[in-house]
């Protein structure tokens, strides 16, 4: 029995979306407008009106979490009938189900295995080894990313057309051919294959396509703005017969083009499906009106959008705060001081700091560690725990202290110097037997000719570099910042990151640049290493609540009472690379990212930028993001830096000590003083 109460709490637009059952429907669902409620109510209405049986409804989501939430909500309305919704799930889970029924059409058995990322990497490594390809120059993850991109475009290996001037793609295509054949030989497929194979089956087998196209009387799709080409094609084939396809999404939240998402699927929906009805859900149940007005004013500068006007169901709320700071350190202090003021009103769990790039968390982490404010990094790792940062620190530690065996062990073969686990084991045994640290044990073993010739070359080069770097530090009096730059160059570590084709390397390089900035704040290598040790040893497993830190990309789908959005500066946000690579489309996606960031806030949003940033060991002048100029002034509260009567340059010293800066004597500062006494 269907519970008819689901209609009761729907607004006018939501009711229209639920009742409009026949023909193609595009629901433009603004942030916080109740799209999941609409989708579940629509499923209930289809069954209540006897338009279809539950197993004739295809409901597709992007994540297992979203699918589970939809299943729970539908169950509350439908009761036992919900168990018959056998085609509710993610793109991948539904395609896997279809593929098992028709596996033979793509030369697979129905009991095929789905390989995970680790298996994929292992397979690519084996192929590269067999083809004499250096994985140090062409990372398996990068190879798989390119293959996945081709699959998202709907290409089998023999269908790929590449630009011969693109050396990487030219080299990867033969690997794709071998990789795909290996998967077939292993009776396996990867996640990309689940959709690609299914689409190819539907395209080539008219009878199979007609069976499913006829069976699926209604198709519902969540987060349609995030679909790629092959997902959109799959939906198009399955809706061929009945045309009752309903797609829900928000073009203003399309931020995953780097993952293959194509916003044109959303913008051109009415061109693909004739007689499309468009319904806009514009009542927002999450944020205050001032927050929505700021977000709407900003996103209105985009040209490629369907368009909507969000209205809050809540009160007008506080003005959005726009703060300008002298530098990044002041920004971190300003944010922590603001949190101290509001934490009695809002729980820390409901406060978030959203950054454009993950390296930006460093200054906030430093500040929070200093004053004892608990935090967590969502969708990432704490700054000093990131692998590339730990590598850099290990290099500095072994230079400073030759007996640091842990540091030696970490970087002796990083980058690769032909020093494997067996060699390290021998060095350990020799050192233990002769009461020597690993470095001195290595030197003795080279002298005694106990190391294999190939390994000996790499090991000796490394040991000689250690001598040279210590001389640079202790005799040449090179600064610790310059020392790390030298180490990164002469060790080959920088070249490894720059030359290795890997999508994560850009973030790693940015993190290292941020580390160089952090080091500048300390007079000596000793004081910096001590700081790192204390920062990483501080007990961060505080009980109770924690502030959330993450990138804006990671924040999509989440909501918080209070959101801080720091670092709104040209080049950083919008990100220079995005504009350089994608031009106007890149700029518009960056603006959509800003829109997503702002609309995560329910009650208070705080945007900030700095006039100066410490970057790669040098001060650089910053310019406020063009997005700042696009924020409607009437909904903003600006800090004193915007007061023309205030002389902001008075008593300004870049090198002033952190502990005595203005604004540090907050409750958090007092807490910190108590901890160190």
Catalytic residues, which ones? 35-36, 222-223, 253, 600
The length of the chain is 677
Contact 226, 249 (CB under 8 A): yes
Question: Tokens for 674?
Answer: 């108590």
Retrieve residue 331's tokens.
């920004």
3-state secondary structure 563-582: EEECCCECEECCEHHHHHHH
Which two tokens mark 548?
């959330």
Cα gap 536→528, rounded to integer Å:
12
Residue 521, both tokens: 């704040």
Peptide linkage before 574 cis (omega within 30 of 0):
yes
Cβ contacts of 438-447, under 8 Å, gap ≥ 24: 438/405, 438/408, 438/409, 438/412, 439/398, 439/402, 439/403, 439/408, 439/463, 439/466, 440/402, 442/412
Six-digit token string for 441: 């044990």
First-to-last alpha carbon distance for the chain, in angstroms, is: 68
DSSP assignment of 287-347 equals S-HHHHHHHHHHHTT-SSS-----EESS---PPEEEEEEEEHHHHHHHHHHHHHHHTTTS-
Could you tell me how far CA 395 lies from the centroid of its own chain?
A: 28
Least Cα distance to 465 among 390, 538, 411 occurs for 411
| Contact criterion met (CB below 8 Å) for 254 and 77 | no
What angle is formed at CA 595 by the lines to CA 35 and CA 10, rounded to 5 degrees?
Answer: 20
Q: Using DSSP, state whether 7 is helix, strand or coil.
A: helix
Q: Cα–Cα distance between 232 and 307 in angstroms, integer?
A: 21
Please name the residues in contact with 425: beta carbons below 8 A apart, sequence gap of 6 or more.
Answer: none
Residue 527's CB is within 10 A of a number of other CB atoms, namely 12
Please count the other Cβ atoms lying within 10 Å of the Cβ belonging to residue 59: 24
Main-chain dihedrals φ then ψ at residue 605, nearest 5 degrees: -125, 135
Torsional class of 34: left (φ above 0), alpha (ψ -120 to 50), beta (otherwise): left
What are the backbone dihedrals phi and psi of residue 280, each rounded to the nearest 5 degrees, phi first? Answer: -105, 125
**Which helix or strand (DSSP H or E) is residue 609 part of?**
strand 601-615
Q: What angle do CA 287, 251, 33 make, to 5 degrees?
A: 30
């Amino acid at each position: 029995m269907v519970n008819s109460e689901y209609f009761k709490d729907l607004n006018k637009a939501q009711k229209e979306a639920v009742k409009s059952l026949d023909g193609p429907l595009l629901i433009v669902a603004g942030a916080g407008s109740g799209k999941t409620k609409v989708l579940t109510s629509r499923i209930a209405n289809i069954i209540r009106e006897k338009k279809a049986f539950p197993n004739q409804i295809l409901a597709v989501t992007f994540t297992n979490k979203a699918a589970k939430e939809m299943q729970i909500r539908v169950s509350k309305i439908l009761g036992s009938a919900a168990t018959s919704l056998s085609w509710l799930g993610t793109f991948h889970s539904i395609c896997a189900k279809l593929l098992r029924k028709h596996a033979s059409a793509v030369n697979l058995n129905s009991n095929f295995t789905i390989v995970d990322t680790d298996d994929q990497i292992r397979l690519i490594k084996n192929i590269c080894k067999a083809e004499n390809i250096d994985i140090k120059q062409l990372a398996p993850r990068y190879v798989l990313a390119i293959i996945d991109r081709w699959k998202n475009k709907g290409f089998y290996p023999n269908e790929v057309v590449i630009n011969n001037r693109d050396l990487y793609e030219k080299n990867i295509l033969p690997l794709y051919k071998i990789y795909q054949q290996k998967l077939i030989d292993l009776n396996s497929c990867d996640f990309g294959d689940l959709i690609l194979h299914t689409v190819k089956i539907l395209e080539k087998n008219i009878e199979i396509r007609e069976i499913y196209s006829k069976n699926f009387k209604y198709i519902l799709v969540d987060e349609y703005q995030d679909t790629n080409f092959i997902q959109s094609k799959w939906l198009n084939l399955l809706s061929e017969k009945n045309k009752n396809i309903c797609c829900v999404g928000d073009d203003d939240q399309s931020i995953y083009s780097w993952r293959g998402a194509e916003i044109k699927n959303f913008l051109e929906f009415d061109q693909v499906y004739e007689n499309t009805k468009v319904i806009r859900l514009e009542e927002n149940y999450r944020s205050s009106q001032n927050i929505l007005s700021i977000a709407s004013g900003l996103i209105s500068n985009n040209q490629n959008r369907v368009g909507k006007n969000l209205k809050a169901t809540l009160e007008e709320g506080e003005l959005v705060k726009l703060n300008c700071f002298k530098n990044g350190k002041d920004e971190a202090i300003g944010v922590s001081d603001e949190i101290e003021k509001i934490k009695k009103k809002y729980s820390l769990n409901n406060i978030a700091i959203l950054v454009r790039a993950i390296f930006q968390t460093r200054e906030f982490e430093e500040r929070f560690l200093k004053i004892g404010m608990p935090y967590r990094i969502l969708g990432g790792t704490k700054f000093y725990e990131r692998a590339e940062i730990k590598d850099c620190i290990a290099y500095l530690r072994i230079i400073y202290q030759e007996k640091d065996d842990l540091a030696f062990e970490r970087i002796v073969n990083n980058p690769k110097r032909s020093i494997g686990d067996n060699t390290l084991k021998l060095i350990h045994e020799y050192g233990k037997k002769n009461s020597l640290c690993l470095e001195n044990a290595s030197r003795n073993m080279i002298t005694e000719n106990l190391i294999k010739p190939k390994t000996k070359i790499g090991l000796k080069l490394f040991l000689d570099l250690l001598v040279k770097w210590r001389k640079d530090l202790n005799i040449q009096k090179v600064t610790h910042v310059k020392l790390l730059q030298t180490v990164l160059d002469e060790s080959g570590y920088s070249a490894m990151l720059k030359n290795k084709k890997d999508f994560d390397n850009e973030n790693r390089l940015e993190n290292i640049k941020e580390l160089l900035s952090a080091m500048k704040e300390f007079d000596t290598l000793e004081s910096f290493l001590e700081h790192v040790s204390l920062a990483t040893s501080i007990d961060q497993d505080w009980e109770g609540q924690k502030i959330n830190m993450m990138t804006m990309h990671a924040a999509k789908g989440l909501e918080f009472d209070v959101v801080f959005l720091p670092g709104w500066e040209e080049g950083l946000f919008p990100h220079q690379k995005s504009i350089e690579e994608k031009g106007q489309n890149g700029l518009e996606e960056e603006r959509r990212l800003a829109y997503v960031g702002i609309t995560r806030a329910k009650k208070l949003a705080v945007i900030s930028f700095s006039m100066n940033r410490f970057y790669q060991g040098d001060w650089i002048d910053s310019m406020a993001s063009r997005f700042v100029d696009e924020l409607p002034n009437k909904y903003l509260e600006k800090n004193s830096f915007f007061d023309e009567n205030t002389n902001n340059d008075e008593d300004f010293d870049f090198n002033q000590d952190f502990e005595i800066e203005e604004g540090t004597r907050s409750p958090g500062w007092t807490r910190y003083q108590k901890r160190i006494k």
